Amino acid sequence: MISFLLNNALPFGISMAGTLFENQVKIRGVTTLGHQSAQALNDPIRIKILDILSHRQMTTEEISRMLRRSGLKKATTTIRHHLDSLKNAGLIEVSKIEEVRGAIKKYYMPTLRAYSYENVTNFEIHSKLIEVTSLRMLKILKNVIEDEKFVVEETGKDTCNICKGDHYKEYAALEILNKALARMLYLKEYQAMVGAKNQHNK
């Protein structure tokens, strides 16, 4: 047996390993969230809170009632802890403070629009629409990256240690698109298009 292995040994440097599985993995989403924001969102309750607050400003007690309606029974102290985490991460802010019979009531509003759904569409059925939209967005991104002020202020801030690429510039450009998308939510044209009512000032 040993003689067989020696006589049939592979030349030096050639590996006997073979590829058993290979999958071309594609990026299906992009986020520009920082580490602290991502940590704050590492809880389905907090994502649900952001979803609730996107409809109107609420107090801790109101948020607790809305969660109970969704089948999520949490103590008020637990809700306050979640609100503190979201606030420290910059994902919500105090929008109003009222004094009611000597007690202080704080209202909260989100700075991030979060959508929370359990049953989501298989977006592969919209692949053609995604392709067309990506080409349109490419033109917008090109205008951002080639903007003179953007080039001066955002180029060369943080070179990647792995590929030596300028990913900070890429991040900044995508963050501008992200913030432009958020600003769009407040436009009257958007509200009319989706049939939504801006309740942020209620």
Q: Which CATH number fits domain 35-110: 1.20.1260.10, 1.10.3720.10, 2.40.30.260, 1.10.10.10?
A: 1.10.10.10
Give the residues across from 105 on adjacent strands. 98
pLDDT, tens only, 154-167: 988 888 888 888 88
Classify residue 30 by burial, with Cβ atoms within 10 Å: 0-12, 13-18, 19+: exposed
Mean pLDDT of the chain: 85
Q: Is the pTM of this model over 0.95?
A: no
- pLDDT bucket at 52, cuts 50 / 70 / 90: very high
- Give the CA angle between residues 48, 104, 60 to the nearest 5°: 10
Domain range summary for the chain, segments of one domain joined by +: 35-110, 125-194
